[in-house]
Amino acid sequence: AQRVTQPEKLLSVFKGAPVELKCNYSYSGSPELFWYVQYSRQRLQLLLRHISRESIKGFTADLNKGETSFHLKKPFAQEEDSAMYYCALRRGQAGTALIFGKGTTLSVSS
Amino acid sequence: DAGVTQSPTHLIKTRGQQVTLRCSPKSGHDTVSWYQQALGQGPQFIFQYYEEEERQRGNFPDRFSGHQFPNYSSELNVNALLLGDSALYLCASSLRRGGRYEQYFGPGTRLTVT
């Protein structure tokens, strides 16, 4: 069965520190992986998708098929990065459902 | 463009009752997906509608049903409500034609079953 695991419920860092939000998945095929973010009182929004291989707001994520991981990284955290982050998987077929992890709350303090 | 809109914002129902939630997709989108998000959990896929038909379904009982209208808006119906149905219900829209499939989420409807 497909599954997304985010092992940390809460990650607290100081401003300027590096951030790594962990995501592991189980899926035997070729998945598409995403990171979604939800800022306080805002709706869920797409942050990154692995096929784009881009950096958004300083965040990057690399798909590691050998380790079945898709960790989200940022070298220097900012207070405005504080939010709930969800890793999600979509099976490699167009239009199929997203499977979400339970999410990690990132708290960045000064 | 207001993006994906959902109504109502909050709803309180009693066990055994029925509820209907509504979703209007982002302008230009033709596909609507519904998710249930229980407290402390990630969103869980309920079903997806395209061309007024249910195209894919998650692991939810038949008490959960839906509909998509010709203008692409959608409804989620839940019958015989249980306490465990209390959750945030999210609607997401996407454009199936063109191959992008990126999902845009609405603000959700908070359902409380007492």
Residues of chain A neighbouring B44 (CB-CB closer than 8 A)? 100
pLDDT of residue A31: 85
- Inter-CA distances, A68 with A84, A95, B45, Å: 22, 22, 22
Q: B58 and chain A: CB distance < 8 Å anywhere? A: yes
Per-residue pLDDT of chain A (110 residues; tens, 9 = 90+): 789 999 999 999 999 999 999 999 998 888 889 999 999 999 999 999 887 778 889 999 989 989 999 999 999 999 999 999 999 998 766 567 899 999 999 999 99
Contact between A82 and A38 (Cβ < 8 Å): no
Residues of chain A neighbouring B5 (CB-CB closer than 8 A)? none
Q: B108 and chain A: CB distance < 8 Å anywhere? A: yes
Count CB atoms within 10 A of the CB of residue A102: 15
Q: Which 3 state secondary structure label does DSSP give B59?
A: coil
Q: B103 and chain A: CB distance < 8 Å anywhere? A: yes
Contact between A25 and A2 (Cβ < 8 Å): yes
Nearest to A97 among B4, B33, B106 (CB): B33
How far apart CA A63 and CA B22 sit, in angstroms, is 36
Contact between A20 and A76 (Cβ < 8 Å): no
Q: B1 and chain A: CB distance < 8 Å anywhere? A: no
- Inter-CA distances, B31 with A43, A75, B23, B57, B106, Å: 18, 37, 11, 14, 13
